[in-house]
Amino acid sequence: MTEPSTEPTIEPLTEPTGPVDATRVPRYAGPATFARLPRLDQVDRFDVAVLGVPFDSGVSFRPGARFGPSHVRESSRLLRPYNPVQGVLPFAAQQVVDASDVAVNPFDIPSAVREVQAAALDLTSGGGRLVTIGGDHTIALPLLRAVAERHGPVAVVHFDAHLDTWDTYFGEPYTHGTPFRRASEEGLLDTSACAHVGIRGPLYSDQDLVEDGVLGFQVVGAEETEDIGWRGVVERVRARVGDRPVYVSLDIDVLDPAFAPGTGTPEAGGLTSRELLQVLRSFADLRLVGADVVEVAPAYDHAQITGVAASHAVYELISAMAPRG
């Protein structure tokens, strides 16, 4: 005689649902999803999915970003349902889910790139958007391939200390320092509308900036933020992207190491977390088609400083995607 199953039966939810109620389940308990949101298999549809890509085989310095997705999820437990600055309930105005992680090949970068692209295309087949947690910045290339297949060439707003438009490292074309050169070469970008924000630190030569401009980017350097403020950054970005479809790619090292020590290639003189979040909040006015937050390496973090900053960045991006009445 077969014993009855003791596994709980999970019925798909027919109505949009939000995070676990923190007044009933303590924040240190409950599901380990982003913001304790429902899993993908608990809903019948979604508008925005938070996807993890635990991959860091493309790094050139300190490894560890493969552990970023779980760290950011754990750091997101204090997020709440109402965003008072944006004036929106991001988890009620749209169905947001945690789509778990993509299991990618850690030993073969081209294979991993194909696997991320396939997963992104599959998840967005119903019209939903992705906010992806990395992982290193290599993953931006397959995510952009998937976005461009859905929307055509997109404007990219790239937050980073580094340009990430170099050609190769040790002869390899797919690394965390090359995704936007490959994306430009492949025609994935609207080269009249892309911008870097927060760039700083030494370069290999002045040709790095020349080649970067040819690839379609304008730079809003970290040093400019001191003079123009976050509002000036917003104005520059809006003027650049206009009403085009926009993909946001956010390397957490855009923040100063004081605000994000847990990353692989830290550079002094970066943005504050407050400046970054203010800029992201303004993106509710843009046509966001997807986003990623990458390069969180928890081994170098302390007291979840970096994880909390990254989780709030994800929260602001999800809020910016929420429909307004």
Structure tokens at 138: 């290599």
Instruction: Give domain status of residue 55, yes or no.
Output: yes
Q: Which of 259, 285, 276, 286 is nearest to 315 (CA)?
A: 276
Instruction: Give domain status of residue 10, yes or no.
Output: no
Instruction: Give domain status of residue 279, yes or no.
Output: yes
* pLDDT digit string, tens, across residues 212-262: 999 999 999 999 998 999 999 999 999 999 999 999 999 999 999 999 999
As a whole number, mean pLDDT of residues 55-59 equals 98
pLDDT band (50, 70, 90) for residue 273: very high
Single-letter amino acid code for the residue at 222: A
Is residue 29 within 8 Å of residue 256, measured between CB atoms?
no
Instruction: Give domain status of residue 106, yes or no.
Output: yes
Can you tell me the distance from the alpha carbon of 17 to that of 96, in angstroms, rounded to the nearest whole number? 8
Can you tell me the distance from the alpha carbon of 42 to that of 242, in angstroms, rounded to the nearest whole number? 37
Single-letter amino acid code for the residue at 219: V
Q: Which of 241, 205, 200 is nearest to 224 (CA)?
A: 200
Can you tell me the distance from the alpha carbon of 88 to that of 64, in angstroms, rounded to the nearest whole number? 34
Residue 13, SS3 per DSSP: strand
- Does residue 5 register a pLDDT over 90? no
Instruction: Give domain status of residue 25, yes or no.
Output: no
Instruction: Give domain status of residue 23, yes or no.
Output: no
As a whole number, mean pLDDT of residues 76-89 equals 97
Q: Is the dihedral of CA 287, 289, 295, 301 positive or negative?
A: positive
Q: Which residue has the tokens 């310095």?
A: 61
Q: What is the CATH classification number for the domain harbouring 108?
A: 3.40.800.10
State what percent of residues in the chain have pLDDT above 70: 95
pLDDT of residue 281: 98
Count: domains in the chain: 1
According to DSSP, residue 273 is labeled H
As a whole number, mean pLDDT of residues 179-185 equals 98
Instruction: Give domain status of residue 244, yes or no.
Output: yes
- Does residue 147 register a pLDDT over 90? yes
Instruction: Give domain status of residue 9, yes or no.
Output: no
pTM: 0.94
As a whole number, mean pLDDT of residues 182-201 equals 98
Structural domain including 221 reads: 34-321
